[in-house]
Amino acid sequence: MSIDRPIAAIISVVIRNREVLLVRRANRPDAGRWGFPGGKMEFGESIRTAAMRELFEETQVRAEVHQTYTAIDAFDRDDDGTLRQHFVLVGVACRWLSGEPRAGDDALEARWFPLKGLVSADSAMCSGVAEMARQAAILVIA
C-alpha cells in the first residue's frame, strides 16, 4: 500500500569512545545492510523518547541523547523503481551509557564498529553511515 506523505522516523547514532553502534537491518529500506538503530516515531512521541525506545528495542543498549543534528530522506522503491514509501530520518547523536548490543526487534545483528574503519563507499553499509557517524562523534566526543 502506498503512503502519500513522508513518514517521520528516528535514527540513534550512538558513540562509545571511538566506536559507533550499528545494526544490520532486517526490513526495507536497506534490508541486510548495516545502519543505525531506529524506526518510526509513534504519534505524540518526542524525538528524544523515540530515539531511546528504538535504540533499546533493537539493541538493548541505553544512551543519553546529546543532540538532534540532521535529517535525511530514505526512499523505499519497488524493483521497477516505483516509490513505496518516503521516510524522513531524524539523526540523533547519543552517548553510550550501558549495555552491550544484542539484536532485537528489526535488527538481524548489532555491534560496535570503529569510527576509523567506516568507509562511505562500503556496499554493506546504508548510504551516509560513515559521514553521519563522524558528525555525531564530533558532537558527542568534543
pLDDT for residue 1 = 53
pLDDT of residue 10: 97
Q: Give, for all 142 residues of the chain, the pLDDT tens digit.
A: 555 899 999 999 999 999 999 999 998 778 899 999 999 999 999 999 999 999 999 999 999 999 999 999 999 899 999 999 999 999 999 999 999 999 987 899 999 999 998 886 678 998 899 999 999 999 998 7
Position 69 scores a pLDDT of 97
CATH number of 7-141: 3.90.79.10
Q: How far, in Å, CA of 7 to CA of 105, rounded?
A: 19
129 DSSP 8-state letter: H
Nearest to 129 by CA among 6, 41, 24, 28: 24
Domain boundaries, the chain: 7-141
